[in-house]
Amino acid sequence: MAQSIDTELKDKILAKPDVILDDQELMKALLKANDTAMGSNIVDIRGAAMQRLETRLGRLEDTHQSVIAAAYENLAGTNQIQRAVLRFMDHLSFESFLDDLDDGLRSILRVDCVLLVFETPVKTIDPNIETLMEFDCVRIVPKGYIGHFMSQGAKSRKREVVLQKTSDLSVALYGPGLDIIKSEAVMRLDLGEKRLPAMLVLGAEDPKQFQTQQGTDLLVFFASAFERMLRHWLN
């Protein structure tokens, strides 16, 4: 025998029926009760359609949240790059520019290591570059090293920005005390026709901070701005 609904409860539902319609748990219970009342031999097409719509809505909500999260992450990354570029534009000497690499740049971009690598012929070292060897963030390497480092020995891999896990080459480049670095962003820097290339390396302890599937558009822009600043100081 069907139970009668309490009069007071019924009046509340009739006064605000949208409360039930907006409650997913109540609607599911009502649909389930409706299926039970119809019997097992009757297929509720409307109920099946609603289930599918609910599943699709859930997927759309997940996608929406992912898009929003990616947009915020991209905005945060853009702000970091802009702050870094503006900071380095304020330096009045090359020495202060280099001093700020391992402090200002590392802090702004939230990385654990910054290296600026210059190629130079083994027998002849550019006087302007030789004076930089006193800075902890600077490395001097032989001609051809940067191409080999960025390709990790693969001939087909020629990109201006590479995101990757650190390798034995990385450990040798960083030197003692920096074996904690597990991922890196490596940017090739063009210093002009009469100079060998340079390389900017951002290292992170987090192995997931720089991964191959991540976008590199912001770092390509940053590398372009950074190499222009270097050209200004080296000329």
Strand partners, 184: 164, 203
Residue 85 is predicted with a pLDDT of 86
The identity of residue 81, as a single letter, is I
Q: What is the pLDDT of residues 33-79, one digit of tens each?
A: 666 655 555 455 566 666 777 777 777 776 766 666 556 566 667 78
Question: For residue 69, how many C-alpha atoms fall within 13 Å in the half-sphere facing its CB?
Answer: 6
Name the nearest CA neighbour of 116 among 80, 88, 157.
Answer: 88
Measured over all CA atoms, what is the biggest interatomic distance in the chain, rounded to whole angstroms? Answer: 101
Residue 25 is predicted with a pLDDT of 76
Strands 183-189 and 198-204: antiparallel
DSSP states along 103-124: IIIHHHTT-SEEEEEEEE-SS-
Residue 71 is predicted with a pLDDT of 60
3-state SS class at 136: coil
The region that residue 153 occupies, defined by phi over 0 for left and psi between -120 and 50 for alpha, beta otherwise, is: left
Residue 115 is predicted with a pLDDT of 92
Strand partners, 202: 114, 185
Cα–Cα distance measured from residue 203 to residue 110, given in angstroms and rounded to the nearest whole number: 10
Angle between helices 217-234 and 45-89 (to 10 degrees): 10
Whether the pTM exceeds 0.75: the reply is no
- Helix residue ranges, H only, the chain: 7-15, 18-21, 24-38, 45-89, 94-99, 106-108, 127-130, 145-151, 168-174, 217-234
Q: What is the pLDDT of residues 168-199, one digit of tens each?
A: 888 888 888 778 899 999 999 998 888 888 99
The identity of residue 105, as a single letter, is L
Tokens representing 108? 């702004």
Instruction: Find the helix or strand (DSSP H, E) in which 141 lies.
Output: strand 138-142
Domains by residue range for the chain, with CATH: 92-234 (3.30.450.40)
Residue 73 is predicted with a pLDDT of 65
3-state SS class at 102: helix
Tokens representing 150? 């960025």
Could you tell me where the beta strands, DSSP code E, fall in 143-192? 161-165, 183-189
Residue 117 is predicted with a pLDDT of 92
pLDDT, the chain, mean = 79
